[in-house]
Amino acid sequence: MAGTSDWELRELADADVPSLLACQRASFGERAKTAEQLRWAAGPPGTSQRAVVAVRDCRVVAACAGIPARTWVGGEERTCVQLVDLMVHPDERGGLAGGRLYRGVAAAFFELYGAQGGDAVHYGWPIPAARRLGERYLEYAFVREELVLVRSLEGELAEAPEAVEVLEDFGEDLRWLWDRCTTDFAAATVRDAAWARWRFLQRPGVDYLALGVRRGGHLRGLAVLRTTAWDWPGVLPLVDWLVPSAEPEVADLLEAAVARAARRAGAERVATLVPPTHAAFAGLQERGWCARPSPYTLFLRSFTAGIDADLWRDGAWLTLADTDLA
Amino acid sequence: MPSTSRASSVSAAPVSAASVRPLRVEDQDALLAAFNGCFAASDPGFVARTAAEWRWRFVQNPAGRRATLALDDEGAVLAQYAGLPQRALVEGVAATLTQGIDSFCVPRARALGRRGAFVAAGERFAADYGGAPGAGDPWMWGLPVRAARRIGERALGYVPFRAQVRLELAGPLRASATDLSLREAPWSELDELAPELDGLNARQAERCGAFALRDAPALAWRYAAHPSRRYRLVVATRHNGELAGFAVLGVGRFEDSEGLLWCDGLHDPEAEPALVEFAADLAAREGHARLVALLPPWCESFTSLQGLGFRVRGGRTLWVGRSYTGALPLEFWRERWFYTLGDTDLV
């Protein structure tokens, strides 16, 4: 990979990890990843690491990393990547050189994994400063401002439905459920047992409660609540929601169980993210959830004709489970 | 920015613009012929623009005229880049904001991959009309069709900033008791209401960073004088006769929703439930399936209307904008600019 006389750009190697973690700590402070979190963020089974570093004098001075996901899009399975950590060490920021380093490490990432590597799209919810740089220099395409759905847990809640069970693990029937839901999606991360174990059972430092409805031995709906405290005080996020839109009675059961579980965990409200064009966005509002503006704006960089921001906006199924935000 | 027509391909070499200049009133006939021909070719449902509608938009607008033409060497119209200006308050300062509308390029002047007549007109439009308050229009915005958006992003500085969401009331209203008086008022009453409308505008200016003025001249032009649509004015007054708010209602379609449209309005917070209740009753009496409104997600009413029973619906239209002053970047407009359906030319 290219670089300059100042720094070398290359894929992250095991030997770079200590220095990358130091760069994370310098860049993000207490939000920096641990070694364990970094390993987890390499992605679920069936995917491979997406991380480029800029190294000078054996020291990581900038990095761009993403979380890959097997994604059903355009009638086939492709890899799509959520960009999570694009950073320049604070000592290297400022001036033309800092900007060149930022753009250089991002461009190398896009070239290696997108243009050459075959990833369909890279997407993310950048902070405003990164968003401006991305739009100006890195071909980020605007998808939408995210609206979150929020439900107050004040007042009387429906009884916890007995038909809802806590899922201690995930089996083949998750993929069966996901397959049934794909008629509603133009694009979505493949939700199977391996992905769900990685996402909800193996994420370091964060606990989730997975709730399911089974009928005839098959999983008919899934809701996953984060139970570890979140960034928003008093709020627990409903991280994932997978219910066929033609089965509102399953949605009723799961939604009531989520509210009960969130209150039991001490939350005053629950919040979630589903695409505004999807039936679930309307359905949750009918169950008492209200749409609120959020600080998140979704952007995308496409490497595939026809799989672009318009498709993502119109039909990609994205929940908080597709992000590292919750 | 919106409604730009660029359908069909061109086999011959495109015609270049011999001149690019601001629209003049005497361009009416040539412009309308080109406009109607262009949109009719790409939209089977297109209804030809009449001279009365054109004059309402480009001659009678009290905020002025914003339009640039590209012409060939015989004076025929090749392209238009146009907008609807609105008088506004931006951070308390008088300014003009412009919605891009009615822009088009005739097929023989389209230049794939090159700077064509459309871009030439758009660049001149931006140079002539864009600028910081006092020097030009600080914010130009629109809802372009996909093809036009792509040209605009590539060549004319369009920045997408919002995917459309609308508010719909299709079920029962959760209204509260009110001690306000509600009535439908004739448009002829606008002059009498003028001082109190000014008061409502002043209070609205405290709630947002930028908005188009809803004063008597603006409402008279936008709604009372509209050449083809009919709107209804509803006013809410306190017991002392003071105006607490107004709403403008019309029947029509917005995106996938047909019903009674909440086109416009300004109100003090306590007037909102009463105005909505009046509109919902009217919708029910006249057999409309829903009441539809458009508001920016950051504003208080976006939340409070949901409390009254409205639901948010996602749409596919993308809003684009271009800020002409570094002092008011895109984030300002995205987070502080107030608008309603009536700010657009869609209703």
**What is the per-residue pLDDT across B82-125, written as a single tens digit (0 to 9) for each?**
999 999 999 999 999 999 999 999 888 887 655 789 999 999 99
- Per the structure, the complete domain to which residue B203 belongs is given by 166-316
Rounded to an integer, what distance in angstroms lies between the CA atom of residue A166 and that of residue B45?
A: 54
Q: What is the CATH number of the domain that holds B197?
A: 3.40.630.30
Q: Do B302 and A293 touch (CB under 8 A)?
A: yes
Å from A147 to nearest chain B CA?
8
Domain-embedded: residue B339: no
Domain-embedded: residue B258: yes
Same domain, B170 and B159: no
Average pLDDT over residues A287-291: 97
* The pLDDT value given to residue B45: 87
| Preferred mutation among A127, A132, A136, A142 to probe B, highest tally of B CBs within 10 A | A142
Beta carbons within 10 angstroms of residue A50's beta carbon: 27
Q: Do B315 and A135 touch (CB under 8 A)?
A: no
- Reported confidence tier of residue B146, pLDDT bands at 50, 70, 90: confident
Average pLDDT over residues A295-299: 95
Give the SS3 label for residue B62: coil
Say how many domains are in chain B: 2
Q: Which residue of A has its CA nearest to B304?
A: A290
In the predicted structure, residue B156 carries a pLDDT above the cut 80: yes
Given B130, B163, B196, the domain boundary residue is: B163
Å from A277 to nearest chain B CA?
5
Q: Do B162 and A290 touch (CB under 8 A)?
A: no
Rounded to an integer, what distance in angstroms lies between the CA atom of residue A281 and that of residue A274?
A: 6
Q: Do B312 and A310 touch (CB under 8 A)?
A: no
Instruction: Say if CB A196 and CB A211 are below 8 A apart.
Output: no
- Report chain B residues touching chain A, CB-CB < 8 A: 146, 159-163, 165, 297-298, 302-303, 306-307, 311-316, 318, 331, 334
Percentage of the residues of chain B whose pLDDT score is greater than 90: 78
* The pLDDT value given to residue B9: 40
Q: Please give the sequence-ordered ranges of beta strands (E in DSSP) within B213-334, or none if there are none.
A: 231-237, 243-254, 257-267, 291-293, 311-323
Domain-embedded: residue B182: yes
Rounded to an integer, what distance in angstroms lies between the CA atom of residue A54 and that of residue A102?
A: 9
Q: Do B307 and A282 touch (CB under 8 A)?
A: no
Q: Do B297 and A147 touch (CB under 8 A)?
A: yes
| Preferred mutation among B166, B312, B336, B337 to probe A, highest tally of A CBs within 10 A | B312
Percentage of the residues of chain B whose pLDDT score is greater than 70: 94
A199-206 contact pairs (CB < 8 A, 24+): A199/A44, A199/A240, A199/A321, A200/A170, A200/A224, A200/A239, A200/A240, A200/A321, A201/A169, A201/A170, A202/A40, A203/A40, A204/A34, A204/A36, A204/A37, A204/A40, A205/A34, A205/A36, A205/A37
Å from A164 to nearest chain B CA?
27
Q: What is the pLDDT of residues B217-261, one digit of tens each?
A: 999 999 999 999 999 999 999 999 999 999 999 999 988 889 999
Same domain, B123 and B172: no
Using a CB-CB cut-off of 8 Å, the residues of chain A touching B165 are 147, 276, 291
In chain A, where does the domain assigned CATH 3.40.630.30 lie? 8-139, 146-294
Domain-embedded: residue B223: yes
Q: Do A128 and B331 touch (CB under 8 A)?
A: yes
Same domain, B189 and B286: yes
Beta bridge partners of A88: A62
Given B163, B179, B196, the domain boundary residue is: B163
Same domain, B206 and B255: yes
Same domain, B173 and B311: yes
Q: What is the pLDDT of residues A28-50, one digit of tens each?
A: 999 999 999 999 999 999 999 99
Q: Which residue of B has its CA nearest to A142?
A: B160
Give the SS3 label for residue B297: coil
Q: What is the pLDDT of residues A106-162, one digit of tens each?
A: 999 999 999 999 999 999 999 988 988 898 899 999 999 999 999 999 988 877 778
For the domain bounded by A146-294, which CATH number is listed?
A: 3.40.630.30
Same domain, B212 and B269: yes
Same domain, B50 and B113: yes
Q: What is the pLDDT of residues B175-224, one digit of tens each?
A: 677 889 999 999 999 999 999 999 999 999 999 999 999 999 999 999 99
- Report chain A residues touching chain B, CB-CB < 8 A: 128, 135, 141-145, 147, 275-278, 281-282, 285-286, 290-293, 310, 313-314
- Please enumerate in sequence order all residues whose Cβ is within 8 A of that of A36, keeping only pairs 6 or more positions apart, or say none: A204, A205
Distances (CA, A) of A79 to A122, A172, A189, A324: 9, 21, 9, 17
Please give the structure tokens belonging to residue B339: 């608008």
Same domain, B36 and B151: yes
Q: Tell me the CATH architecture of domain A8-139.
A: 3-Layer(aba) Sandwich (3.40)
Q: Do A293 and B311 touch (CB under 8 A)?
A: no
Q: Do A292 and B297 touch (CB under 8 A)?
A: yes
In the predicted structure, residue B14 carries a pLDDT above the cut 80: no
Same domain, B179 and B150: no
Q: Do B306 and A277 touch (CB under 8 A)?
A: no
Q: Do B161 and A145 touch (CB under 8 A)?
A: yes
Q: Do B331 and A142 touch (CB under 8 A)?
A: no
Same domain, B311 and B223: yes
| Preferred mutation among A127, A131, A144 to probe B, highest tally of B CBs within 10 A | A144
ipTM of the complex model: 0.90
- Please enumerate in sequence order all residues whose Cβ is within 8 A of that of A140, keeping only pairs 6 or more positions apart, or say none: A126, A131, A134, A299, A300, A301
Q: Please give the sequence-ordered ranges of beta strands (E in DSSP) within chain B, or none if there are none.
A: 19-22, 66-71, 77-90, 93-105, 139-142, 159-169, 181-185, 210-212, 231-237, 243-254, 257-267, 291-293, 311-323, 337-338
> Which residue is it, tokens 């900038």?
A62
In the predicted structure, residue B79 carries a pLDDT above the cut 90: yes
Q: What pTM was computed for the model?
A: 0.91
Using a CB-CB cut-off of 8 Å, the residues of chain B touching A140 are none
Average pLDDT over residues A184-208: 97
Same domain, B177 and B225: yes
Rounded to an integer, what distance in angstroms lies between the CA atom of residue B342 and that of residue B347?
A: 6
Same domain, B176 and B301: yes
Q: Which residue of B has its CA nearest to A277?
A: B314
Given B131, B163, B195, the domain boundary residue is: B163
